[in-house]
Amino acid sequence: MADDPQIPPAPPAATADTPAAPRPAPAAAKPAPAAGGEAHVPKASAPTGPPDPPPPADAVLPAFITSLQAAVPGSVSQVSYYLGDWTVIVPASHIIEAATYLRDAPEASFDYCSDLTATDWPPRAERFDVIYCLYSTRHRHRVRLKVKVAENQPLASVTGVWTAANWLEREVFDMFGVNFTGHPDRRRILMPDDWQGYPQRKDYPLEGPGELLMENPLDWLKLRQAREEADIE
């Protein structure tokens, strides 16, 4: 608790009046953020990403992955295999080409986008994994695509490839704030239209926003940390 006195006593009323003002002070009091960590809240032990294990040596790559590598150069940055599922990690710049190829190529024909979601890894610079779970009604196989994007980094919408992605991307935008570009109807879907913040992010508190968080989630979180530390003492 050495740095406890340095945290300014931010009473709720004071912060509510001037939401932006107390922000520089705690930032200065805190130690410099770790490499790659931004202003997010990171716990010391926060994981930096899924392991994405490489396929075992004796595993044969499915035909659609090898042909994707050949047909769209640069579209496969890594292939991973875990518990029977193949995952292809695709650079954000190539997602439309890779998705279109996987939908149209006869050996892939992933015509069904069964899920589209994201995972938040705050300590990482490219903090979001956007995950596309694809299925082929013809060959009955599955693959997952994964794209790593930073906050505010534009990511092309795949609504043009699978219409199913429309609402699923809206939900990812609503919950994580991933910046989809070219989306026909990018509005919030589950939360109210005027909601502040993105609830599924790891730095968003479970208890909900409270009156402070409507202005700035980080202030609220720091206040909560300070309260918890005070409780411990």
Partner 1 sequence: MTTLQPQTVHGAMFDTNELVINMGPQHPSTHGVLRVVLRLDGEKVVDADVVMGYLHRGIEKLSENRNWTQIILLTDRMDYVAAATSNVGYCETVEKLLQIEVPRRARYVRTILCELQRIASHCLWVGTHAMDIGAMTVFLYAFRERELILDLFEEFCGARLTYNSMRIGGLPLDLPPGWDKKVLEFCKIMDGKLDEYETLLTHNRIWLERTKGVGVIGGPEATALGMCGPTLRGSGVARDVRKDEPYAAYDEMEFDVPIGTAGDTYDRYLVRMEEFRQSLRIIRQATEGLPEGPIVGKVPRLIKPAAGETYHAIESPKGELGYFIVADGKSTNPYRFRVRPPSFCNLQALPRLVRGHLVADVVALIGSIDIVLGEVDR
Q: Which residues bind partner 1 (CB under 8 A)?
A: 45, 47, 50-51, 53, 82-83, 85, 111-115, 117, 119-120, 131, 133, 137, 140, 142, 144, 162-168, 175, 185, 188-192, 199-200, 204, 206
- Nearest distance in Å: CB 155, partner 1: 18
- Smaller CB separation from partner 1, 68 or 175: 175
Burial class (CB in 10 A: 0-12, 13-18, 19+), 112: middle
In angstroms, what CA-CA distances link 118 with 36, 93, 149? 19, 17, 10
- Nearest distance in Å: CB 20, partner 1: 26
- Smaller CB separation from partner 1, 64 or 132: 132
- Smaller CB separation from partner 1, 50 or 210: 50
- Smaller CB separation from partner 1, 72 or 134: 134
In whole angstroms, what is the distance from residue 40 CA to residue 202 CA? 9
- Smaller CB separation from partner 1, 90 or 175: 175
Which stretch of DSSP H or E encloses residue 143? strand 142-149
In angstroms, what CA-CA distances link 6 with 27, 40, 60, 224, 226? 11, 19, 57, 15, 10
- Nearest distance in Å: CB 27, partner 1: 26
- Nearest distance in Å: CB 145, partner 1: 12
Cβ–Cβ under 8 Å, residues 189 and 171: yes
Q: Can you give 46-103 as a three-state secondary structure string? A: CCCCCCCCCCCCCCCCCHHHHHHHHHCCCCCCEEEEECCEEEEECCHHHHHHHHHHHH
Radius of gyration of the chain (CA): 21
- Nearest distance in Å: CB 154, partner 1: 22
- Smaller CB separation from partner 1, 9 or 84: 84
- Nearest distance in Å: CB 102, partner 1: 14
